Structure 1
Amino acid sequence: MTSINKLLKLMFVMCLLSTSSCDNDITDINSNPNGLNLDEANPSFLLTDVMANTAMDVGNKGYSDPLSAFVQYTQKDAWGNNNYDWAGSGWESYYNNLRTAKLALKRSKELEFKFHEAVATILIAHNFALLADFYGDVPYTEALQGDGEILLPKYDSQESVYKGVIADFEAASAMLSSNMGNLEVFGTTQDIFFQGDAEKWMKYANSLALRYYMRLSEKDPGFAGTGVQATLAKPLIASVDEECAIPYLGTGPSDSQPSNGQQGSPSSFTRVKPSATFTYKLAELEDPRRSIWFDAVEIPIKVVPASEVPGGADDTVVDGVRYLNEETLAPNGLKIFDPATWYADRKAGLSLIDTNSVYVGIPVSYQGSEPYTYNLNPNPVQGGGNPHVSLMNPMFDAVKGPYLKARVFSYAEICFLKAEAALKGWGSDAEGNYKKGVEASFETWGIGDQFADYISNPGVAFDGSLEQIMEQKWIANFSSASEAYLDWRRTGLPDLKTGPFAKSTAIPVRFVYPTSNSTLNRENYYSALNSLETTSHTDDVPGYIENDTPWSKPWVLQGVSKPW
């Protein structure tokens, strides 16, 4: 895939409105010599901008954003939020993206560019879908009408947005399918998703439709089941080579691997640590992806009898290992970390020691403040580092690399969606698709040759359960935390729990509307609040406007037992 933002520097500025000088394959219309003229905007470059922004949003939310902590891939030991009190973000960026996409759609229709029109339709639908995913009801049918028409748009129901975007995905796919072989050129460098390949765009639209039919599978199974069965008969993303995974360009913070240490402060990288939930699950399954994602701990800790501590000391570092006298633990309020009891141990006031000799993660919501003291850190200051907790794999410290991508839609996801649909009776071959999903994840991270051994491991060999499918999908979605979060919200799987110092005993299920909505579009905003269902957790954290909280349920969760 072409790198994110490749044309969004000099070329975007020079060519956005000058179609004749920069893309003769598109149009010969001259640009306005007196300044920018949106009526002559080049849809190719407008769509490049929308694709880049969409991919960066997925990438940023996927790796180091608090969503990664929500689904327990990572925890930050400093300058982070591990305690589930994050209200969410993205509203303005989504609507800014949609305004650009709307202009691209308008220009595509004016120029009778069916390929560009279909792409614009897909990108508009995807951005509206993300808004509905995270917020609930959002301005939709009256949105993007700020040119003197509708300045204060109503909030459409989450249901109508979901079903509307599915219809748009299907319409765009049909437009491409019916015009295949007779479409205008979409330059390979402008199309950073699929390099001008209309067939891949058609498969992508169908795959998005499948994702959102499944998003509704618990709330509206009749609608979802019919749609899933029809969509499974259409062309879908069919290999890792066809997935939408955009490499980072690495020229600056806006197009680089999130939280790398090369753009800005080195601590951007070092403060992101693995979550203990994730490291212990990967260890349990003997999963080789852990060595791809995490770095071995610099100085492991061993708790041994007094007679085995080198030099007779109670606490000493010898040959790169820290030895502790086991008799000193209880008197000092210390206990070895146990995945089965750690929550209760921590609530009881104990400090925990992880004696894992390879990959050590931070337990979720381990303390009320940032956990840079975890695991007896000898230098317990913010940003000071911790030799007893693993860093992420050094490749994530770079701005770009062969495996550093914004994974907008993976082939693994399609396989797991098919496996889940089969369990529901809407498709077939749950086991075959489950295995393909695991294999696709291994392939995308460069360890496809290790799949055959892994798939027969205890806990990995297919047992026919939804729990296992969703667990492996969760693992495969590492660096794609937004989709993992929305899967967890839909199914309650894997069974993630907040930590002992979380703001609530329940993981949030939505983002909070920007505060400005309560004043700038007050009437419609308060009308939207009426559609949110209050829960026993709505008032867990004070300071929100009425029931506009992260724990109020939007339509898709109302009357549904999951995730809580």
Structure 2
Amino acid sequence: MSAKYIFNPKKLLLLVFIGVVGLSGCKKFLDVNQDPNKPSTADPNLLLPVSQVAVGTVVGNYFQVYGNIWGQYWTQGPSASQYRSIERYNDPNTAFDQVWNRIYTKALINAQLIIDSKVGGVEQTKGIAYLTKAYTFQLATDAFGDIPVGDALQTTNLSPKYIAQAAVYDSIFNYIDKGVALIGVANAVKPPGSQDVVFQGDMAQWKAFANTLKLKAYLRLTNIDPAKASAGIAALYATSPVFLTKDASIKYSSTGGNDNPLYSEIVGLGKPQNLVASATAVDQFVANNDPRVLQLYVPVAGTTTVTTLVQGTFAQFPTSVVSTPSALVGASPNNAQSALAPVKFISASESYFLQAEAVARGWATGDVNDLFAKGINASFVATGITDAAIAATYITTARDGQLALTAAASPEAKVKAIITQKYYALCGFQGFEAWSEYRRTGYPDFLIISKAAPAGTAVGPRRMLYPNSESVTNLNYPGTIALNVPVWWGKKN
């Protein structure tokens, strides 16, 4: 990916957005960073969007590309070459330097600066920082496995220790609880307001985010520690939690350099058609008569046909005209509306499917059929299909809709139906989450090995590689772990 976000920690980039009121009224601040080597005296509210937007760049660009390719929504286009190594499962360690740097020196360091700030009256902002920290550490550990946590944010420590994923998850739960306690402070002197580019200072939404994130984190443990997962979910539900019913997302604009980070990447590369429709996902949309396919991909001009490539066959069809992902998900090279595509941290649809899975496993109370339908409805609305009758027809008639859930005779079969439908809902918007759910559950069961992978490859990627930067700077570097080695919780796949 492009090198325009490389961070030099020896240079202090001053915060220039004092008085900023959110994305729409600011200068370009996607690359603004507070120097972690100097004490921060800035208002923590001004650091908050820096941390949040850094997370948005990770989720909406780096992880979006890997997730949507390895999750087989997208594949490398035949007329370009940027992501061929991803399809071939042979990216070098250096390919992950920038995203690791973005996670630690921008997203997490700025969140920690907020938490450590001596400025008074910013409890709610600190609460959001804890939740951002929890969310970001989960992204990192789900991608890489064991990672540095506590001493990683001590900026004088050049060789932070890696800790086991089980301990990382314990930290995540701890950070969520700390965040919830702080966002509940009602008398914040300096509330975050519109500096919070996710929920604009709405603490009720952040509480719902915290509950949904905790549910997701416990469900990650399903196959590695089901007792802990079920007990944690039971304890969560004992609090009568409210979960997200709207997307936790960053909305972008086409002015001031604040466009969708994936589209910004595409523009920086000269707008090549690197990303095209994968037959793996599209064939399943078509088999279900799913109208979302025409919202998520660009059909051939003058038709309603989405053309595809089998995953990894870019070299076999060099002159093929293949549909691109749509502007809705920020990946249509020649449609400037891509600049406006949101980056979703947790979507409303994902929230409903998480709840449905918890109920299907017998770990929570609720109506699994209703939650399943709400997850589909939320996805239809997110793709611009607002006619409830269209969604209702799909739910009742599609092969992988209510028919599949009703036919499921066991909790595992119900989970398969839920995760398969969740896969469709995550298409294009949340590729990394879809790939993670596949690694956790083995669903959907129709993913294939990329045709560009080395001969004899038996499994697809199960993790990302530790960056080369760690191998040359961190004395505690654990060594390269191959792409096909599952992360701690990825027992099934």
Which of 412, 420, 438 aligns to 1:488? It is: 438
Pair member with larger Rg: 1
Which of 374, 377, 383 aligns to 1:439? It is: 377
User: How far apart in 2 are the matches of 1:516 and 1:198?
Assistant: 37
Which residues of structure 1 form unaligned runs of 5+?
1-10, 20-35, 301-356, 381-385, 530-544
The amino acid of 1:59's aligned partner reads G
Q: Does 1:47 align with 2:48?
A: yes
Q: Render the CA deviation track for 1:149-183: whole Å, top value 9, x for unaligned.
A: x3321111111011111121122113323x2x323
Which position in structure 2 is the counterpart of 1:514?
467
Matches within 5 A, 1:330-349: none
User: How far apart in 2 are the matches of 1:265 and 1:525?
Assistant: 32
CA contact (8 A) 2:89 2:483 kept: no
Matches within 5 A, 1:264-413: 264=268, 267-268=271-272, 270-298=273-301, 358-366=305-313, 370-371=314-315, 374=317, 380=319, 386-387=320-321, 389-393=322-326, 396=332, 397-400=334-337, 404-413=341-350
RMSD: 2.7
User: How far apart in 1 are the matches of 2:51 and 2:175?
Assistant: 17
Q: Does 1:68 align with 2:68?
A: yes
Which of 170, 176, 179 aligns to 1:163? It is: 170
Q: Render the CA deviation track for 1:478-530: whole Å, top value 9, x for unaligned.
A: 121111111111001112221333132211111111123233223x223xx5x
Which position in structure 2 is the counterpart of 1:429?
367
The alignment partner of 1:516 has SS state of helix
Assess, with a 3 A threshold, how the Cα gap between structure 1 residues 467 and 253 changes in structure 2: closer, same or farther: farther
The alignment partner of 1:500 has SS state of coil
User: How far apart in 2 are the matches of 1:294 and 1:59?
Assistant: 17
Q: Render the CA deviation track for 1:21-71: whole Å, top value 9, x for unaligned.
A: xxxxxxxxxxxxxxx9744211011111001111121111464x1321100
Q: Give the alignment's TM-score, normalised by structure 1.
A: 0.72
User: How far apart in 2 are the matches of 1:37 and 1:265?
Assistant: 34
CA contact (8 A) 1:248 1:400 kept: no
Assess, with a 3 A threshold, how the Cα gap between structure 1 residues 110 and 185 changes in structure 2: closer, same or farther: closer
The amino acid of 1:14's aligned partner reads V
Q: Does 1:454 align with 2:383?
A: no
CA contact (8 A) 1:176 1:202 kept: yes
Q: Render the CA deviation track for 1:395-451: whole Å, top value 9, x for unaligned.
A: 534444697110111111111011111111112321111111001101112213121
Q: Note the C-alpha offset of 1:360.
A: 1.4
Matches within 5 A, 1:93-112: 93-96=102-105, 97-107=107-117, 109-112=118-121
The alignment partner of 1:13 has SS state of coil
CA contact (8 A) 1:298 1:390 kept: no
The alignment partner of 2:109 has SS state of helix
Which position in structure 2 is the counterpart of 1:332?
none
Assess, with a 3 A threshold, how the Cα gap between structure 1 residues 45 and 394 changes in structure 2: closer, same or farther: closer
Which residues of structure 2 form unaligned runs of 5+?
1-12, 21-36, 409-413
User: How far apart in 1 are the matches of 2:88 and 2:40?
Assistant: 48
CA contact (8 A) 1:508 1:551 kept: yes
Q: Note the C-alpha offset of 1:189.
A: 2.4
User: How far apart in 1 are the matches of 2:15 and 2:340?
Assistant: 29
Which position in structure 1 is the counterpart of 2:487?
554
Assess, with a 3 A threshold, how the Cα gap between structure 1 residues 135 and 292 changes in structure 2: closer, same or farther: same
The alignment partner of 1:245 has SS state of strand
User: How far apart in 2 are the matches of 1:260 and 1:43?
Assistant: 27
User: How far apart in 2 are the matches of 1:76 and 1:403?
Assistant: 23
Q: Note the C-alpha offset of 1:271.
A: 3.0
The alignment partner of 1:508 has SS state of coil
Q: Note the C-alpha offset of 1:12.
A: 7.6
Q: Note the C-alpha offset of 1:260.
A: 6.6
Which of 504, 519, 525 aligns to 2:477? It is: 525
CA contact (8 A) 2:290 2:394 kept: yes
Assess, with a 3 A threshold, how the Cα gap between structure 1 residues 113 and 13 changes in structure 2: closer, same or farther: closer
CA contact (8 A) 1:250 1:257 kept: no
Assess, with a 3 A threshold, how the Cα gap between structure 1 residues 209 and 507 changes in structure 2: closer, same or farther: same
User: How far apart in 2 are the matches of 1:139 and 1:131?
Assistant: 10
Assess, with a 3 A threshold, how the Cα gap between structure 1 residues 256 and 176 changes in structure 2: closer, same or farther: closer
User: How far apart in 2 are the matches of 1:457 and 1:266?
Assistant: 43
The alignment partner of 1:189 has SS state of helix
Assess, with a 3 A threshold, how the Cα gap between structure 1 residues 403 and 151 changes in structure 2: closer, same or farther: closer
CA contact (8 A) 2:462 2:485 kept: yes
User: How far apart in 2 are the matches of 1:247 and 1:467?
Assistant: 32
CA contact (8 A) 1:61 1:482 kept: no
CA contact (8 A) 1:61 1:68 kept: no
Which of 441, 448, 453 aligns to 1:497? It is: 448
User: How far apart in 2 are the matches of 1:252 and 1:58?
Assistant: 21
User: How far apart in 1 are the matches of 2:181 and 2:116?
Assistant: 19
Q: Note the C-alpha offset of 1:264.
A: 3.9
User: How far apart in 2 are the matches of 1:394 and 1:126?
Assistant: 26
Q: Render the CA deviation track for 1:461-493: whole Å, top value 9, x for unaligned.
A: 233422211111111111211111111110011
Assess, with a 3 A threshold, how the Cα gap between structure 1 residues 211 and 52 changes in structure 2: closer, same or farther: same
The amino acid of 1:132's aligned partner reads T
Between structures 1 and 2, the one with greater helix share: 2
Which of 114, 119, 123 aligns to 2:123? It is: 114
